[in-house]
Chain A
Amino acid sequence: GEIKKETGFSHSQITRLYSRFTSLDKGENGTLSREDFQRIPELAINPLGDRIINAFFPEGEDQVNFRGFMRTLAHFRPIEDNEKSKDQNGPEPLNSRSNKLHFAFRLYDLDKDDKISRDELLQVLRMMVGVNISDEQLGSIADRTIQEADQDGDSAISFAEFVKVLEKVDVEQKMSIRFLH
């Protein structure tokens, strides 16, 4: 019930995800560890796999319970029509545009200083592009990326700047997946 309210998932979705949760939970202790995630074969070859797994874990912990699991997944719930209008006063739903963006932002921001530094950007770039691109090229890409986004001249991308550069992108769509009912 609480999960439903917090994440906005429907009852059947929660049930479905719970069964997935338990099937991932090899230790059967009601929580998932990093290893549980890493066992998913496709995730292992996902360039950002590790980062994404990390995003599931609250700071400093290496277990995540079902609730936390759902909370993270809720970021990817598409925004539904009826949600757009309501919720003006309540807390921002997890799947709001800004929360979706923040999720992505945190993947870059390793040291959690709310800034993507050149280094952090480079690391992600390195993961995402093939080995064919040299460090130098990557460096120039990173420079350019930061230059594009940077507004306050700190040679890093703050969350505000991150939101700004992506303002034309249909984040609601591009950061949502369809959860089976």
Chain B
Amino acid sequence: MQPPAASPGPAAPAEAELLRWQWREVQAPCLVAAWILVASLAKIVFHLSRKVTSIVPESCLLILLGLGLGGIVLAVAKKAEYQLEPNMFFLFLLPPIVLDSGYFMPSRLFFDNIGAILTYAVVGTLWNSFTTGAALWGLHQAGLMDPGIEAGLMDFLLFGSLISAVDPVAVLAVFEEVHVNETLFIIVFGESLLNDAVTVVLYKVFNSFVELGPARIHAMDYVKGVASFFLVSLGGTAVGLLFAFLLALITRFTKRVRIIEPLFVFLLAYVAYLAAEMVSLSSILAVTFCGICCKKYVEANISQKSRTTVKYTMKTLASSSETIIFMFLGISAVDTSKWAWDTALVLGTLFFILLFRAVGVVLQTYVLNHFRLIPLDRIDQVVMSYGGLRGAVAFALVILLDRAKVKAKDYFVATTIVVVFFTVIVQGLTIKPLVTWLKVKRSDHHKPTLNEELHEHAFDHILAAVEDIVGHHGYHYWRDKWEQFDKKYLSQLLMRKSAYRLRDEIWDVYYKLNIRDAISFVDQAVGTPQPSGVLAAPMPALSSQGGHVLSAAKLALPSMPSRTSMSESSVTNLLRESGSGACLDLQVIDTVRSRRDKEDAAMHHVLRGSLYKPRRRYKASYSRHFISPDKQERQDKEIFRQNMKRRLETFKSTKHNVCSSKSKARLKEKGRKKKNISLTSDAPNGKTHRNVPWQEAAPVLVMVSSEEEESDSSETEREDDEGIVFIARATDEVLQGKTTPGSLDVCPSPCIIPPSPTLAEKELPWKGDQADLAVYVSSETTKIVPVDMQKAWNQSISSLESIASPPGIESGPQHRRFACPVLEEQPQSANQAISEQSSCFQFPSHISKSGRSQSDSSPDGAEQQELQPLMATEEQGRMVPTTEPRWLMFNRASHL
């Protein structure tokens, strides 16, 4: 920051230098980095005090900070060194913010209100520019301003055009903290984004008019102005759509290079911005629409990790841009050499922009309300008028003016700075109290529940149908049409087949909810390790295991809090209760624990990937290095999630603890998904990964399971839970015929877990239906299984251990390779299983794969055969890949 102080060169150039001072070479980037650092540190400081940030918007603080820093620089360097360069602003600072807002724009809400947004953006901005410009001109004509201001009507209109546009950056910064209801937010914010086209056009047109001079403007020029408006706005949008299309298409083919997925998103959006800028179309519109439109397809195509990366990177970039913009606004204001103050102009501008904004809003709303389903009421209008913040765009535009042509530039600059400061600081500070005082409907952020999603879907269909019946092609009609078009053509073209097939909003919500529950479950489980530890105490092995779990859980925790904090649905709570309260019986906890151990281990790997690197490298040598680690981590994580989910379900469903089977089933589903995602080419790879988690987890797992097993051996009933697996299938058949929850009593292990069944029954009665079936199956099987199982287990425990532990791992690369062919066919059978039975239960395919590959490499093939018949008897009628039973055994064994 202080180059002069640091620059004295130390050594004489003639001698050979040990070190050389190279400030000049690094100066530029170093300064940039320093500024960003300062701004970010400032943010931290601001947020140290919650009180301050809850009252004062961050943007205000940043501007003030900028003023302070600017003052210091001015005092030190005797001249204002830094300011917001329009070029830097438009080329680097603005795009991330716009992309972020476009990409994360709630598109449904946006298009629901598109009419209002467009009206305010186009008509409103036009109105504001012309009235403000004309009024200021009037003021000038009336002689109220300093006669030194040399400006004609065109100059004032030019000024009006740049000062009247609501600024997306400022609006976003302030409104994000205010939390007004979403409709209001989307209208103000949408307007601020879309008015860019109008602003750009007006600015350019008036600029050229000013250059031409009023005398030489022909009627043709006005027509051109109007034409250029359409060209600029529609052109910008078209560029955006084009790039959105490209982007979606490209991400469709990135399955082997997941690592660069996020890059495409940023690059293409940026190129869209530049392309629009290049041909002087509206670049903001281009990026906004690129973001809005590509999101659906991109999100479906890219991997979970990439999604997270995109999200965070985008947010980070946008937030730092915003920070820098506001800070530099403050700094730039210090540069008095560019100022020329005129009180009348400043006050007049402030007054007019507020007045005309309010008038414009009221007039437009009056008209719009005739067409709106839900009219905007008075309070909304007040907030909209007041929320018209001006910001950096205006500032950058005014700086861009050519002093030679616009004589009054200095006056305009000063006025713009005052206006920006006033709107951001004064209005920014007061809007929150205003909103509270007016009792504006706030947005209540709650996570969507499945019911809401489902019923809202139904509503949409109903409305579309009613519109058809009424014969009036309204909004729902077109939305319906669009959705069909999208489904038929666009999605097919732009989404991977796998993603396309899996795509369903209701399912998505369901999926997310489950993940959330799982996470909160972990949270809860970690929160209550004590009781379980106590419970486990009687069995020494167990208690030690409890300790283990605890530590593992702790390891896993760091990554969780942020996510857990958002899990608050009532269902979650319910689960928590049933999880901690109802399932306090030993087995539940144990089994969960062992599971969790493994998963935590997996999670741990994800967190600190380095631990198992050597092995991964091995694998990498086999093919496609970089994806594999990436994917594999994802895999671990997903497996982890899936397991959790499954487990939760079992909790819900259940009466007894164990979910091994269920979670397996879950895994299966995952497997299928993955398969879908990573089409055929991945197959070999995917499989190997699939194996890995288990192998990796093995060291932990083996111990745990054996311990558990011993300790649990008395309670063989747990095995029934294997029944749950069948449940899954069974349900399928039972779905239609309703069964009564009462049949639960059949449950073979009521004595062991008295509380949980009842609770479960109460809370999740329908589970009874399933359970009931399961129970039948399992009650038969219990008779057979335990005995055989135990034997089988005893015989095979050693071999199992060998499978699961180091030997298997070491032989990993080889056996994996040769396991491939086997695996190759596996997917098919799994798929069949899927289609025939349940998507939810596909996962075993991969597990069975791992099982198989393991068996290939180790001596437990015999064991497998031994177990198979046994399983077959208990699972008659069920179509399971033969390997699966083996897996089941493996698991079950862990509870013996």
Check if A177 sits within 8 Å of B467, measured CB to CB: yes
Residue of B nearest to A129 (CB): B504
Check if A48 sits within 8 Å of B468, measured CB to CB: no
Check if B449 sits within 8 Å of A125, measured CB to CB: no
Interface CB pairs A-B, < 8 A, 20: A23-B471, A73-B470, A117-B738, A118-B738, A125-B506, A128-B454, A133-B506, A136-B728, A136-B837, A136-B839, A137-B839, A139-B732, A141-B507, A146-B766, A153-B762, A154-B765, A165-B449, A166-B455, A168-B444, A169-B452
Bound-complex Cα distance A47 to B483 (A): 13
Q: Which chain B residues border A149 with CB–CB below 8 Å? A: 451
With contacts A46-B461, A125-B506, A148-B569 known, what are 15 further pairs, Cβ within 8 A?
A43-B468, A47-B461, A104-B462, A125-B454, A132-B503, A136-B839, A140-B840, A141-B454, A141-B510, A153-B762, A166-B455, A169-B455, A174-B463, A177-B470, A178-B372
Check if B466 sits within 8 Å of A42, measured CB to CB: no
> Does B138 make an interface contact (CB < 8 A)?
no
Q: B747-783, CB under 8 A of A: which get 1 and which 0?
A: 0000000000000001111111100000000000000
Check if B374 sits within 8 Å of A172, measured CB to CB: yes
Q: B721-745, CB under 8 A of A: which get 1 and which 0?
A: 0000000100110011010010000
Check if B766 sits within 8 Å of A43, measured CB to CB: no
Number of interface residues of A (CB under 8 A): 67
Check if B458 sits within 8 Å of A134, measured CB to CB: no
Check if B462 sits within 8 Å of A52, measured CB to CB: yes
Indicate which residue in B375, B377, B484 contacts A45 across the interface (CB closer than 8 Å).
Answer: B484
Check if A76 sits within 8 Å of B767, measured CB to CB: no
Residue of A nearest to B729 (CB): A136
Question: In the assembled complex, how far is the CB of residue B651 from the closest CB belonging to chain A, in whole angstroms?
Answer: 12
Residue of A nearest to B112 (CB): A173
Question: In the assembled complex, how far is the CB of residue A180 from the closest CB belonging to chain B, in whole angstroms?
Answer: 6
> Does B835 make an interface contact (CB < 8 A)?
yes
Question: In the assembled complex, how far is the CB of residue B161 from the closest CB belonging to chain A, in whole angstroms?
Answer: 34
Q: Report B400-445 residues with CB < 8 Å from chain A CB.
A: 444
Bound-complex Cα distance A139 to B556 (A): 32
Q: Which chain B residues border A178 with CB–CB below 8 Å? A: 371-373, 474-475
> Does B838 make an interface contact (CB < 8 A)?
yes
> Does B818 make an interface contact (CB < 8 A)?
no
Q: Which 5 A-B pairs have the closest CB atoms?
A: A136-B838, A134-B839, A155-B766, A165-B451, A155-B765
Q: Report B447-498 residues with CB < 8 Å from chain A CB.
A: 449-452, 454-472, 474-477, 480, 484, 487
Bound-complex Cα distance A59 to B372 (A): 34
Indicate which residue in A47, A148, A150 contacts B450 across the interface (CB closer than 8 Å).
Answer: A148
Check if B763 sits within 8 Å of A145, measured CB to CB: no
Residue of A nearest to B446 (CB): A168
> Does A1 make an interface contact (CB < 8 A)?
no
Check if B571 sits within 8 Å of A76, measured CB to CB: no
Question: In the assembled complex, how far is the CB of residue B645 from the closest CB belonging to chain A, in whole angstroms?
Answer: 10
Q: Which chain B residues border A168 with CB–CB below 8 Å? A: 444, 446, 452
Bound-complex Cα distance A17 to B503 (A): 38
Check if B735 sits within 8 Å of A135, measured CB to CB: yes
Q: Report A148-175 residues with CB < 8 Å from chain B CB.
A: 148-150, 153-155, 162, 165-166, 168-169, 171-175
Q: Which chain B residues border A174 with CB–CB below 8 Å? A: 456, 459-460, 463
Q: Report A34-52 residues with CB < 8 Å from chain B CB.
A: 37, 40, 42-43, 45-49, 52
Q: Which chain B residues border A66 with CB–CB below 8 Å? A: none
Check if B463 sits within 8 Å of A175, measured CB to CB: yes
> Does B841 make an interface contact (CB < 8 A)?
yes
Chain B CB count within 10 A is highest, among A76, A119, A136, for A136
Bound-complex Cα distance A86 to B456 (A): 28
Bound-complex Cα distance A129 to B514 (A): 19
Residue of A nearest to B501 (CB): A132
Residue of A nearest to B370 (CB): A181
> Does B631 make an interface contact (CB < 8 A)?
no
> Does B658 make an interface contact (CB < 8 A)?
no
> Does B834 make an interface contact (CB < 8 A)?
yes
Chain A CB count within 10 A is highest, among B451, B468, B569, for B451
Chain B CB count within 10 A is highest, among A23, A153, A154, A174, for A174
Check if A129 sits within 8 Å of B506, measured CB to CB: yes
Bound-complex Cα distance A16 to B228 (A): 40
Q: Which chain B residues border A134 with CB–CB below 8 Å? A: 834-835, 838-840
Q: A125-B506, A148-B450 are in contact. Are A43 and B469 (CB under 8 A)?
A: yes
Chain B CB count within 10 A is highest, among A128, A143, A173, for A143
Residue of A nearest to B835 (CB): A134
Question: In the assembled complex, how far is the CB of residue A27 from the closest CB belonging to chain B, in whole angstroms?
Answer: 17
Check if A104 sits within 8 Å of B458, measured CB to CB: yes
Q: Which chain A residues border B764 with CB–CB below 8 Å? A: 143, 147, 155
> Does A130 make an interface contact (CB < 8 A)?
yes
Binding site for A on B (CB under 8 A): 371-375, 377, 444, 446, 449-452, 454-472, 474-477, 480, 484, 487, 500-504, 506-507, 510, 513-514, 569-571, 574, 649, 652, 728, 731-732, 735-736, 738, 741, 762-769, 834-835, 837-841
Check if A177 sits within 8 Å of B451, measured CB to CB: no
Bound-complex Cα distance A48 to B464 (A): 10
> Does A81 make an interface contact (CB < 8 A)?
yes
Q: A78-117, CB under 8 A of B: which get 1 and which 0?
A: 1001000000000000000000000110011000000001
Question: In the assembled complex, how far is the CB of residue B649 from the closest CB belonging to chain A, in whole angstroms?
Answer: 8
Residue of A nearest to B765 (CB): A155
Check if A153 sits within 8 Å of B458, measured CB to CB: no
Check if A107 sits within 8 Å of B458, measured CB to CB: yes
Question: In the assembled complex, how far is the CB of residue B471 from the closest CB belonging to chain A, in whole angstroms?
Answer: 5
Check if A73 sits within 8 Å of B466, measured CB to CB: yes
Bound-complex Cα distance A5 to B851 (A): 72
Residue of A nearest to B454 (CB): A145
Q: Which chain B residues border A47 with CB–CB below 8 Å? A: 461
Residue of B nearest to A156 (CB): B766
Question: In the assembled complex, how far is the CB of residue B834 from the closest CB belonging to chain A, in whole angstroms?
Answer: 7
> Does A11 make an interface contact (CB < 8 A)?
no
Indicate which residue in B446, B459, B502, B574 contacts A175 across the interface (CB closer than 8 Å).
Answer: B459
Bound-complex Cα distance A103 to B465 (A): 13
Q: A40-B468, A73-B466, A145-B451 are in contact. Are A133 and B736 (CB under 8 A)?
A: no
Check if A169 sits within 8 Å of B484, measured CB to CB: no
Indicate which residue in A49, A140, A162, A172 contacts B465 across the interface (CB closer than 8 Å).
Answer: A49
Check if B462 sits within 8 Å of A107, measured CB to CB: yes
Q: Which chain B residues border A162 with CB–CB below 8 Å? A: 455
Check if A37 sits within 8 Å of B766, measured CB to CB: no
Indicate which residue in A117, A135, A148, A177 contacts B466 across the interface (CB closer than 8 Å).
Answer: A177
Q: Which chain B residues border A81 with CB–CB below 8 Å? A: 375, 377
Question: In the assembled complex, how far is the CB of residue B180 from the closest CB belonging to chain A, in whole angstroms?
Answer: 15
Check if B449 sits within 8 Å of A137, measured CB to CB: no
> Does A122 make an interface contact (CB < 8 A)?
yes
Q: A139-B732, A147-B571, A154-B765 are in contact. Are A128 and B506 (CB under 8 A)?
A: yes
Q: Which chain A residues border B449 with CB–CB below 8 Å? A: 148, 165
Q: Which chain B residues border A119 with CB–CB below 8 Å? A: 735-736, 738
Q: Which chain B residues border A3 with CB–CB below 8 Å? A: none
Q: Which chain B residues border A180 with CB–CB below 8 Å? A: 472
Q: A119-B738, A148-B450 are in contact. Are A137 and B458 (CB under 8 A)?
A: no
Q: Which chain B residues border A143 with CB–CB below 8 Å? A: 764, 766-767
Q: Which chain A residues border B372 with CB–CB below 8 Å? A: 178
Bound-complex Cα distance A133 to B838 (A): 9
Q: Which chain A residues border B484 with CB–CB below 8 Å? A: 45
Question: In the assembled complex, how far is the CB of residue B770 from the closest CB belonging to chain A, in whole angstroms?
Answer: 8
